[in-house]
A and B are shown apart, each in its own frame.
Chain A
């Protein structure tokens, strides 16, 4: 079926569109922001958003939607921005993505929708992520969300428990509440949002945005229960048999930090990225002593890793007052999995990059605190299975450097609590839950999606998995009524 697109009244001739430069995101000055936790990117102005939207060449066969894991109707919402219908554009996105203000900030658009933007073949791609963020922020300020909240469907009387309030869980909650089910989200921590709240710093994703998204879901009827550890407070079997939940969705994420298993990782001053970022983001360690979680002010903090978590940690260390904050990465910058924007921002803020270096031991003083890191220099060999050139240790290249804080950011695994307490649910050798593409697990009525199934991935991929599971849960519940 042919899709009807909104007609644009702010039409710009095609040739002119190609000459419009990609709009620059206004941001806090690097020297100022490296001393505060306020958001770095300030967001496009309405005028910039319209100009950026006018860069879209309205392809007959747009590829941008294929690059989005939840297939947002990108050309449509961009046309609505051209028409200056910003709230309409936000609602158009919300048809497919319940968390646009979050995805507009943290999605790796350069490797998703923007990577396949036709404009990007010859020029810079349309800044789809920045436009998404703009309309989502605009709607938060100007739209009371009443349209979503008022349209309450008839209750089915069926209950769904969602375990985990991260992106997968929130996506499932949003879709299932619209179907009339009674939806309860159980969160182990004292704030909702999962990795969005404990993992991503305020300067990249202000907590107020997340709270507003949660508040909208609450207003739609979703119940939120915090400090509730499924597997400890209550098992899945108890939720279903004793509390009457007809279906359960497991969106626990990958919250178990991985260490390198080198000597000295248990010294004082050596953190997992999870602990370090949780202390700062969730426990507001950056506001110590007003908040009571302390964090070191390091002379030299090193962060081991090259992904977005490593960038978040190193920029947090810098903001906490470290004299020097360095990334220590065993490959070269070319192989870094972090977003280019994050690497660029980190460099602007004075972060030092020690590439092709790998720690092999952390050394302590007589108090058990880390004082130095023994490292090896690496060189790149042949490409490995990921296509990245493989780092190999250089013989005799050992050196020792002074450090008083280390953050290990080499990845996360899944928490074994569910697999230990619910043996009916099949897991693989990495401890991830085994689920089919619609999220069905080996236990009847239990579905799973996001990082707990796929291992560490992106927010939008977790949301995409959540949406697929929501469809499958809805079908499961309908079939249950029929039988």
Chain B
């Protein structure tokens, strides 16, 4: 059964729980990477990612669709053409940001696809659109940070 078919047969609470689990998986991954990081700068960046995903997880637990205002951030596409690095212990901060931005991009696309698929169901459509926007916002923030630090063009 495809993901879309599964979602079609789920209650809203279960769908939210599934998305919370997704966030928890990201938190677990970044926590593991933080603990394996070989230098302080990488540890700090992974911790920031853990914090970012934790905030999202908590907001999902408390979300109300009625309060959602659609404000999609711009997709800066700064990291779209860059090589995706492997998650490993000795990553540079530059690699970590590229990796995280690409993960946010993929997740945003998945949620956008689900939002588009459930265009006929206002509740599901709005929920997935909100998720897609949030992931894109994370990508936007990471790419802004990337531009400021790694594309100084000196």
Q: Would you call B153 and A306 a contact (CB within 8 A)?
A: yes
| Assembled-state Cα–Cα distance A393/B77 (Å) | 7
Answer whether residue A337 sits at the interface, using C-beta atoms and an 8 A cutoff. yes
Q: Would you call A423 and B40 a contact (CB within 8 A)?
A: yes
| Assembled-state Cα–Cα distance A270/B151 (Å) | 18
Contact indicator per residue, chain B 133-154, by CB within 8 Å of chain A (1) or not (0): 0000000000010011111111
Q: Return the contact of B144 from the options A262, A385, A392, A426 (Cβ within 8 A).
A: A385
Q: Would you call A431 and B93 a contact (CB within 8 A)?
A: yes
Q: Would you call A310 and B82 a contact (CB within 8 A)?
A: no
**Nearest Cβ in chain A — how far from B146, in angstroms?**
10
Residue from A260, A329, A360, A382 having most chain B Cβ neighbours under 10 A: A260
Residues of B within 8 A of A455 (CB): 149, 152
**Nearest Cβ in chain A — how far from B93, in angstroms?**
6
Q: Would you call B45 and A429 a contact (CB within 8 A)?
A: yes
Answer whether residue A381 sits at the interface, using C-beta atoms and an 8 A cutoff. yes
Contact indicator per residue, chain B 57-91, by CB within 8 Å of chain A (1) or not (0): 00000000000000000101100111101000000
Chain A binding site: helix, strand, loop or mixed by DSSP? loop
Contact indicator per residue, chain B 95-129, by CB within 8 Å of chain A (1) or not (0): 10010000000000000000000000000000000
Give how many A residues have a beta carbon under 8 Å from the other chain's beta carbons.
Answer: 44
**Nearest Cβ in chain A — how far from B98, in angstroms?**
6
Given contacts A261-B94, A428-B41, contact A307 B153 (CB under 8 A): yes
Contact indicator per residue, chain A 234-277, by CB within 8 Å of chain B (1) or not (0): 00000000000000000000000010111100000000000000
Given contacts A262-B81, A429-B41, contact A411 B147 (CB under 8 A): no
Residues of B within 8 A of A306 (CB): 153
Q: Would you call A430 and B93 a contact (CB within 8 A)?
A: yes
Q: Return the contact of A308 from the options B39, B42, B148, B154 (Cβ within 8 A).
A: B154
| Assembled-state Cα–Cα distance A261/B77 (Å) | 14
**Nearest Cβ in chain A — how far from B113, in angstroms?**
20
Answer whether residue A412 sits at the interface, using C-beta atoms and an 8 A cutoff. yes
Give the contact-size bracket for chain B: 20 to 34
Q: Would you call B98 and A261 a contact (CB within 8 A)?
A: yes
| Assembled-state Cα–Cα distance A423/B81 (Å) | 35
Q: Would you call B153 and A428 a contact (CB within 8 A)?
A: no
Residues of A within 8 A of B35 (CB): none
**Nearest Cβ in chain A — how far from B1, in angstroms?**
35
Q: Return the contact of A411 from the options B77, B98, B152 (Cβ within 8 A).
A: B152
Of residues 399 through 449 on chain A, the ones whose CB sits less than 8 Å from some CB of chain B are 409-413, 416, 419-420, 423, 426-431
Given contacts A260-B82, A261-B94, A390-B76, contact A385 B150 (CB under 8 A): no
Residues of A within 8 A of B147 (CB): 384, 390
**Nearest Cβ in chain A — how far from B47, in angstroms?**
9
Q: Would you call A263 and B41 a contact (CB within 8 A)?
A: no
Answer whether residue B44 sits at the interface, using C-beta atoms and an 8 A cutoff. yes
**Nearest Cβ in chain B — how far from A372, in angstroms?**
16
Residues of B within 8 A of A258 (CB): 94, 150
| Assembled-state Cα–Cα distance A384/B45 (Å) | 22
Residues of A within 8 A of B148 (CB): 385-386
Residues of B within 8 A of A413 (CB): 94
Residues of A within 8 A of B150 (CB): 258, 410-411
Q: Would you call A384 and B93 a contact (CB within 8 A)?
A: no
Closest to B47 in A: A429
Closest to A382 in B: B74
Answer whether residue B28 sits at the interface, using C-beta atoms and an 8 A cutoff. no
Given contacts A262-B83, A423-B40, A427-B40, contact A392 B153 (CB under 8 A): no
Answer whether residue B48 sits at the interface, using C-beta atoms and an 8 A cutoff. yes
Residues of A within 8 A of B95 (CB): 261
Residues of A within 8 A of B76 (CB): 390, 392
Residues of B within 8 A of A329 (CB): 153
Q: Would you call B153 and A411 a contact (CB within 8 A)?
A: yes
Q: Would you call B81 and A376 a contact (CB within 8 A)?
A: yes
Given contacts A261-B95, A262-B82, contact A411 B151 (CB under 8 A): yes
| Assembled-state Cα–Cα distance A309/B41 (Å) | 26
**Nearest Cβ in chain B — how far from A398, in angstroms?**
10
Q: Would you call B154 and A412 a contact (CB within 8 A)?
A: yes
Residues of A within 8 A of B151 (CB): 330, 410-411
13 residue pairs from A and B, CB less than 8 Å apart? A258-B94, A261-B82, A305-B154, A307-B152, A310-B153, A384-B147, A385-B144, A390-B76, A411-B150, A411-B153, A413-B94, A426-B40, A429-B44
Residues of B within 8 A of A (CB): 39-42, 44-45, 48, 74, 76-77, 80-83, 85, 93-95, 98, 144, 147-154
Please name 10 further chain A to chain B contacts, defined as beta carbons within 8 Å, in addition to the given A392-B76, A429-B45, sorted by A numbering. Answer: A258-B150, A261-B95, A262-B83, A307-B154, A331-B153, A337-B154, A360-B81, A393-B77, A427-B41, A430-B93
